[in-house]
Chain A
Amino acid sequence: MAKLPARREETLGGYIVHGVPFPLSTDEEALQFLKKMAPIQIEQEYSIRYLHSYGQDSPWFAGLANRRLLASQAPAGGYTYANPRGHDMYSGAETRWIDITDAAARVHAFTVCYFGSEEFLPETPFVLALIELEGVNTLLLTRLMGVDPHKPGLEWIGMRVRPQFLRNSKLKPTDVYFVPRE
């Protein structure tokens, strides 16, 4: 059996305190003593709801919702971006949409996150991967499923994979993820 960790996790939260220690009088000695006081720390909440627009990239998310993986392609030269871009970074020209759902795909790089940012901590361990897609010049960051997060190995690089789509789209890039191609 695994041992308990040596230290308890630190968290915020606690009692609301009424009454703060302070000298009963503000004579010279008491005022000098204030320089020796420990700091007062309070908790402050901050939350906000944004109305975030995907702008010109919106069709990419609509594609995921309909189980299609789109890419952006420069009209001249055909440089192709796995992540959508409205304009090609080399020519400045407006890109066109192409469908790469069936492009051959391989793992280019990966990691297993055993910790994560607060939002993603409940999902640990999870696997992040950068995917190479045939005919596409850039990579795609995604989640890799169907592998054992407790047995990672460099042999995962080069693994042939295929996209899979959430049935109930969340209109997020995680609507697509990749799994090993059988």
Chain B
Amino acid sequence: MRPVYAISGGVSKFAKARPDKTFQAIIKEAYDYAIADLGLDFPTFTRLADGSVASYFSDHFTRQLMAGIMAQDYLGLCPKPGHRVEGGGATGGLCFQEAWKSVASGHMDVCVAYGFETMSHVETWKGNEFIALASDVSFDYPVGGFYSGYYAMMVTRHMHEFGTTVEQMAHVSVKNYRNALHNPYSQKSRPITIEDVRSAPMVAWPLTRLDICVMSDGAAVAVLASEDGLKKLEAAGAKIPRPLVRVTGIGRGTDAMRMADRPHVDYDEFMMDYATEQEKSSDETRAYYRRLWDKGTRYPGVHSFRAGRTAGNMAWKHAGIRNPLAELDFVELHDAYTSSEIQTYEDLGLCRYGEGGPFAESGKAFMPGVDYGLKLKDKPVCAVNPSGGLMACGHPVGATGLMQAVFAMWQLQGAVRKHFRDDKLQVTNARRGAIHSHAGTGTYVTVSVLEREA
């Protein structure tokens, strides 16, 4: 596999509704931004691009099959190779990794990963119904298909197993909403408080409206290139910032569509197949897990995401990461729910299983320099969702994973001030970050590591 560089990106303004443009034209906003950031013009870049990968989740929202090719032709990329990927909420993450594969394999030197979703074309509760169709339509959907309900069930179990509290969950929302005050791309940004989160309308107990991300219209584009691709673009006048940002780790995992079907494995199987290298090597952590299992915890059940742990372990191994919390400067993760951000801290090994709640309120995942209006016990260690995440930026499904890639790229390029017109969210000396994209009730999960070269 060849080295793959993330060189440029663009994000359309995410909004509740974008009736002003069709989906193709919204993608072109992000595409034009990515091209302009390289200092190239549209015809020059488009001539040098070898192909693309298109990302969008649902044909239902557009009532249009093969929307990908409509974007491909609008962007002027025909007759170059392209294909669509789909994997629920992880579609953007899968798209990024497919583009990585296209370049790493030598099939392409310059690959455009673009994604979008226009969810405003139906009313909110119909949109929820479409999303719920990403659960088994024979057994799960008819019982009361509603993703917020599915995640609420997971978190009641998490609370029962580990003592996680709704206030700990609300810390996630406060963090992400307040980070987003400094991100002009965000859809929601308010200086909310723990009390605001808890007093918001209850959607699915114990998740309130402020524990849940919103539906959006939006698009994002990431451009990946090989060393030969860099040379071709630079020969044409592209200005690609140094040091370069390289994709150094790729991981994916899956789990059963019906979360009820997921296993509940014993301690030995967990330690052998799922524990991180760090967990396996610590006597104290092995004893901690032994105590959890002695109390009745089984893995992953519905409180944890085996797909997320598998994707994380794979990506960390690929990137040579042993201690994610210490070795990552930031993580952009899929916080569709405050509870799923907490679950994902654990899956990614930022803390141990069962410690996601205390980790959420500790301050370790917060940004230094942002006023959260909270008393936090610990200093920031690894910023999680410095952009505001899905919670505040919005979640136009096919664009979301690519939005994370673009924000991560800008962090590693040290270019947050340039793109956000505010450097409050620039992670100081950001050297390595991870992006995490998550589908369904944890069915497909991707983790990718991006790194600034020395």
Using CB atoms, name the residue of chain B closest to A5. B201
B20 & A39 in contact (Cβ 8 Å cutoff): yes
Q: Within 8 Å CB of B63, what residues of A?
A: 44, 46
Contact A121 B125, CB 8 Å, known A111-B205, A112-B205, A128-B153: yes
Q: Within 8 Å CB of B256, what residues of A?
A: 89
A57 to B156, CA, bound (A): 30
Interface-lining segment among A22-30, A97-105, A133-141: A133-141
B320 CB within 8 Å of chain A: no
Contact among B131, B137, B142, B260 for A139, CB-based, below 8 A = B260
A108 to B139, CA, bound (A): 18
A139 to B160, CA, bound (A): 16
Give the distance to chain B from A86, nearest Cβ to Cβ, in Å.
12
Q: Within 8 Å CB of A140, what residues of B?
A: 260
A46 to B58, CA, bound (A): 15
A123 to B137, CA, bound (A): 18
A15 CB within 8 Å of chain B: no
B126 & A39 in contact (Cβ 8 Å cutoff): no
Q: Within 8 Å CB of B154, what residues of A?
A: 109
Contact A52 B137, CB 8 Å, known A108-B157, A111-B149, A140-B260: yes
A109 & B128 in contact (Cβ 8 Å cutoff): no
A157 & B123 in contact (Cβ 8 Å cutoff): no
Give the distance to chain A from B169, nearest Cβ to Cβ, in Å.
14
Contact among B139, B145, B201, B258 for A117, CB-based, below 8 A = B145
| Most chain B CB neighbours (cut-off 10 Å) among A110, A111, A130, A157 | A111
Q: Within 8 Å CB of A120, what residues of B?
A: 144-146
Contact among A108, A137, A141 for B143, CB-based, below 8 A = A141
| Most chain A CB neighbours (cut-off 10 Å) among B136, B137, B258 | B258
Q: Within 8 Å CB of B19, what residues of A?
A: 39, 41
B160 & A157 in contact (Cβ 8 Å cutoff): yes
Q: Within 8 Å CB of B143, what residues of A?
A: 128, 141-143, 173-174
Contact among B20, B123, B131, B153 for A130, CB-based, below 8 A = B153
Q: Within 8 Å CB of B136, what residues of A?
A: 83
Q: Within 8 Å CB of B202, what residues of A?
A: 112, 114
A108 & B138 in contact (Cβ 8 Å cutoff): no
Query: 7 other contacts beyond A10-B123, A143-B143, A174-B143, with CB at 8 A cut-off?
Result: A38-B20, A52-B137, A83-B260, A113-B146, A117-B125, A117-B132, A128-B149
The interface of chain A, by Cβ under 8 A from chain B, is: 10-12, 38-39, 41, 44, 46, 52, 54, 57, 81-83, 85, 89, 108-121, 123, 126, 128-130, 137-143, 152, 154, 157, 172-174
